[in-house]
């Protein structure tokens, strides 16, 4: 079983929205997915509570259960799950560190703004201390539509520190509307541009994880 962790020490970067839609896109691509909510706010588990489908499986890991995260992941593997997606809190914590350590690939979402790019630095430093230089990638998220100098500059800036996932995710109403409807964006608007980008992002993630496993 592969584990993907979404992590950044800044709220509002879109971790939960990405986690939800990536979990659905991966399930649609044939993975047996468990999405685990490690954020005390519980946004991902609340999203899961509003769904009427069994896949992907959504569960919450409380602070009391956190020390058992490796055992929880091992149990999911024993149940036939092929992918775990972990959604973490938007601040530095033991929870986030454990989730990063458990990951085959950490995704660091960042909006194309100077403040957001600066906010990725503590996460990068933590990953470097954990000797996980080759196990993370940035996701440029909530980008303005069309080619903009701000998005290009942000991509260049992030590229100096690590791998940049492809494609960047454009800010579109479908993302928030899908989350509000307790759907992934590929369920909510299957033929939309947002769904197309998320499927492409999942394809990129899947290829990257397979490359690392070889």
Pairwise CA distance, residues 86 & 16, whole Å: 9
* 126-138 mean pLDDT: 86
Express each pLDDT in 96-127 by its tens digit: 788 999 999 999 998 887 777 777 888 888 88
Enter the pTM of the model: 0.90
Express each pLDDT in 163-206 by its tens digit: 889 999 999 999 999 999 999 999 999 999 999 999 999 999 99
pLDDT band at 132 (very low <50, low <70, confident <90, very high): confident
For the cut 80, the answer to whether the pLDDT of residue 160 exceeds it is: no
Which are the contacts of 179, defined by CB distance < 8 A and separation ≥ 6?
16, 17, 20, 47
So what's the pLDDT on residue 131? 83
| CB 33 within 8 Å of CB 56 | yes
Pairwise CA distance, residues 50 & 171, whole Å: 23
Which helix or strand (DSSP H or E) is residue 163 part of?
strand 163-164
The parent domain of residue 91 ranges over 2-213
Pairwise CA distance, residues 98 & 56, whole Å: 22
Helices (H) and strands (E) in the chain, counts: 10, 7
For the cut 80, the answer to whether the pLDDT of residue 82 exceeds it is: yes
DSSP string, 82-118: -EEEEE--SS--HHHHHHHHT-SEEEEEE-SSHHHHH
Domain count, the chain: 1
Strand order across the beta sheet in which 136-140 lies: 57-60, 33-37, 83-87, 2-6, 105-110, 136-140, 163-164
So what's the pLDDT on residue 116? 78
Alpha helices in 40-86 (DSSP H): 43-49, 69-78
So what's the pLDDT on residue 126? 85
Pairwise CA distance, residues 100 & 107, whole Å: 9
For the cut 70, the answer to whether the pLDDT of residue 92 exceeds it is: no
Query: In the structure encoding, which two tokens stand for residue 95, read together?
Result: 């929870």
So what's the pLDDT on residue 144? 85
5 forms beta bridges with 86, 106
pLDDT band at 162 (very low <50, low <70, confident <90, very high): low
Phi then psi for residue 33, to 5 deg, are: -110, 135
Residue 144: DSSP 8-state: P
Q: Output the domain CATH number for residue 64.
A: 3.40.50.300
| CB 164 within 8 Å of CB 155 | yes
């Amino acid at each position: 079983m592969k584990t993907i962790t979404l992590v950044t020490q800044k709220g509002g970067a879109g971790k939960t929205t990405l986690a939800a839609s990536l979990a659905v896109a991966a399930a649609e691509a044939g993975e047996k997915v468990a999405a685990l909510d490690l954020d005390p706010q519980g946004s991902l588990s609340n999203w899961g509570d509003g769904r009427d489908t069994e896949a992907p499986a959504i569960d919450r890991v409380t602070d009391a259960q956190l020390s058992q995260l490796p055992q929880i992941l091992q149990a999911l593997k024993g149940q036939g799950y092929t992918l775990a997606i972990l959604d973490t809190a938007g601040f530095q914590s033991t929870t986030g560190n454990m989730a990063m350590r458990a990951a085959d690939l950490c995704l660091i979402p960042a909006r194309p703004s100077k403040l957001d790019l600066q906010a990725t630095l503590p996460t990068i430093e933590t990953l470097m201390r954990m000797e996980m230089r080759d196990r993370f990638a940035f996701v440029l998220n909530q980008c303005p539509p069309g080619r903009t100098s701000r998005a290009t500059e942000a991509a260049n800036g992030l590229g100096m520190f690590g791998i940049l996932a492809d494609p960047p995710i454009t800010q579109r109403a479908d993302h928030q509307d899908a989350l509000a409807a307790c759907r992934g964006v590929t369920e909510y608007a299957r033929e939309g541009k947002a769904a197309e980008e998320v499927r492409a992002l999942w394809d990129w993630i899947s290829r990257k994880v397979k490359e690392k496993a070889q």
